[in-house]
Every structure is written in structure tokens, then in C-alpha cells.
Amino acid sequence: MSDKSLTGRCLCGAVRYRCGPPLIPATLCHCESCRRAAGAHVVGWLTVRSDSLAYAAGIPTEYCSSPGVFRSFCRHCGTPLAYRREGRKGEVDITLATLDRPEAIVPIDHIWMEDALSWDRPGDGLPQYPKTRERL
């Protein structure tokens, strides 16, 4: 593995993973699906090559949250870990906050602000998009 590989884990540590560097800049998603899946008003995501993701311990459980969309989580502690979409072959999104060093990856914008709760108004000055962003 190269020095650029990242590692992370769920809350209880039953699932540990390693993945390659982000393919595109990380983002903060305010969509309703992420909100409900994580129980949080916003979820940070980084996108990596799916063949770079390897589980060093445990295998997360996958839940089909909409047609062709799969969210994985630890079946012991419930931590959301990954998101993949059949239409996006070769890549997978990882929950940024489960990285061992989450501060190493800095999100550059906010997406799906049209779903954001009325009190969820980021004041960090980063760009905010009503839906998704253009592919960078």
C-alpha cells in the first residue's frame, strides 16, 4: 500500500478499512437519505476507487436505500461506513468522519442544501449547492 492510503473504523472497531486517496474533493451532504441513515443533519463523504477499499477486519452490512443504491454500516454498532451506486461503477463513497485521521481530508462544499433543515445553515463560507455539484 502507498503512503497515501487512508484507514478508518466504526465506533466499536469490529469493522476496519483501508482505502486509497480521494478521487475528487470531499463534500458535505445535507440530503434527507444521508440524514436519516446517519441520524445526523450533515454527512461528510470522500470518494475513492472501489478496488482500493479493503476491510482489514469485519465486513459491513449493506442496506439498499433506493434502487441501485447501497449503504453499508457496522452490524454491531450501526456506524454508517460506505455508499455505492450501481451507476457509478468503480467508485465508492466513505464516511469521512470514520477515518482514523478525519482532519486529513477537508471538504470543499455543501451539497443537497434544498433538503437541509431550517436551522442547518453552514456559516463556513464554502459553496452551497441546492442539489449535487458538477463533477470536479
Cβ atoms within 10 A of the Cβ of 79, count? 22
Of the residues 26, 28, 31, 46, which one makes contact with Zn ion according to CB under 5 A: 31
Handedness of CA 108, 101, 65, 116 (dihedral sign): negative
Q: Does 37 bind Zn ion (CB under 5 A)?
A: no
Q: What DSSP string describes 32-46?
A: HHHHHHHTSS-EEEE
Minimum CB–partner distance for residue 118 and Zn ion (Å): 18
Q: Does 76 bind Zn ion (CB under 5 A)?
A: yes
Minimum CB–partner distance for residue 28 and Zn ion (Å): 9
Q: Does 117 bind Zn ion (CB under 5 A)?
A: no
> Which residues in this chain contact Zn ion in the complex, by CB under 5 A?
10, 12, 14, 29, 31, 34, 74, 76-77
